[in-house]
Amino acid sequence: DYTLDQLVEMIDPSKFFRINRKYILSIHGFNDIISYSNNRLKIHLKHDSTMDAIVSRERVSDFKKWLDQ
Protein backbone atom coordinates (compact mmCIF):
# COMPACT_ATOMS: atom_id res chain seq x y z
CA ASP A 1 0.00 0.00 0.00
CA TYR A 2 2.84 2.39 -0.84
CA THR A 3 3.15 4.88 -3.65
CA LEU A 4 6.10 4.55 -6.03
CA ASP A 5 7.58 7.71 -4.50
CA GLN A 6 7.50 6.05 -1.08
CA LEU A 7 8.98 2.81 -2.42
CA VAL A 8 11.86 4.68 -4.08
CA GLU A 9 12.80 6.01 -0.65
CA MET A 10 12.79 2.48 0.81
CA ILE A 11 14.83 0.57 -1.79
CA ASP A 12 18.55 0.37 -2.56
CA PRO A 13 19.26 2.99 -5.25
CA SER A 14 22.24 1.01 -6.53
CA LYS A 15 19.93 -1.89 -7.45
CA PHE A 16 16.71 -0.14 -8.46
CA PHE A 17 15.83 2.91 -10.57
CA ARG A 18 12.51 4.56 -11.27
CA ILE A 19 12.40 4.93 -15.07
CA ASN A 20 8.99 6.63 -15.33
CA ARG A 21 5.71 7.19 -13.46
CA LYS A 22 4.80 3.47 -13.67
CA TYR A 23 7.99 1.46 -13.24
CA ILE A 24 10.85 0.89 -10.87
CA LEU A 25 13.46 -1.23 -12.65
CA SER A 26 15.92 -3.68 -11.14
CA ILE A 27 19.50 -3.66 -12.40
CA HIS A 28 18.92 -7.34 -13.26
CA GLY A 29 15.40 -6.90 -14.66
CA PHE A 30 16.10 -6.19 -18.32
CA ASN A 31 17.78 -7.74 -21.34
CA ASP A 32 18.35 -4.84 -23.70
CA ILE A 33 18.18 -1.06 -24.07
CA ILE A 34 17.28 0.58 -27.37
CA SER A 35 17.14 4.25 -28.41
CA TYR A 36 13.55 5.34 -28.80
CA SER A 37 11.75 8.43 -30.10
CA ASN A 38 12.04 11.85 -28.44
CA ASN A 39 15.36 11.04 -26.72
CA ARG A 40 13.83 8.25 -24.66
CA LEU A 41 15.01 4.66 -24.16
CA LYS A 42 13.07 1.44 -24.60
CA ILE A 43 13.83 -1.35 -22.13
CA HIS A 44 13.19 -5.00 -22.98
CA LEU A 45 12.11 -6.59 -19.69
CA LYS A 46 13.32 -10.06 -18.70
CA HIS A 47 10.14 -11.21 -16.97
CA ASP A 48 7.83 -10.35 -19.90
CA SER A 49 9.30 -10.47 -23.39
CA THR A 50 6.04 -9.15 -24.88
CA MET A 51 6.16 -5.93 -22.87
CA ASP A 52 8.67 -3.09 -22.97
CA ALA A 53 9.12 -0.13 -20.64
CA ILE A 54 10.09 3.37 -21.69
CA VAL A 55 12.55 5.55 -19.77
CA SER A 56 11.05 9.05 -19.65
CA ARG A 57 13.02 11.90 -21.25
CA GLU A 58 13.49 13.53 -17.88
CA ARG A 59 15.13 10.41 -16.44
CA VAL A 60 17.33 9.25 -19.34
CA SER A 61 20.44 11.12 -18.17
CA ASP A 62 20.11 9.87 -14.58
CA PHE A 63 19.37 6.35 -15.85
CA LYS A 64 22.58 6.30 -17.88
CA LYS A 65 24.57 7.47 -14.86
CA TRP A 66 22.90 4.74 -12.76
CA LEU A 67 23.95 2.11 -15.31
CA ASP A 68 27.55 3.34 -15.26
CA GLN A 69 27.92 2.85 -11.49
pLDDT tens for 47-62 read 887 888 999 999 999 9
> Which residues are CB-contacts of 52 (< 8 A; sequence separation ≥ 6)?
42, 43, 44, 45
Q: Is the pLDDT of residue 27 over 90?
A: yes
Whether pLDDT at 13 is above 80: yes
Q: What is the mean pLDDT of residues 33-55?
A: 91
Q: Is 0.75 surpassed by the pTM of this model?
A: yes
Helix, strand or coil, per DSSP, at residue 23: coil
SS3 6: helix
Q: CA torsion angle for 23, 29, 35, 38 (degrees, to 10)?
A: 0
Taking residues 34-44, what's their average pLDDT?
A: 94
Confidence (pLDDT) at 49: 77
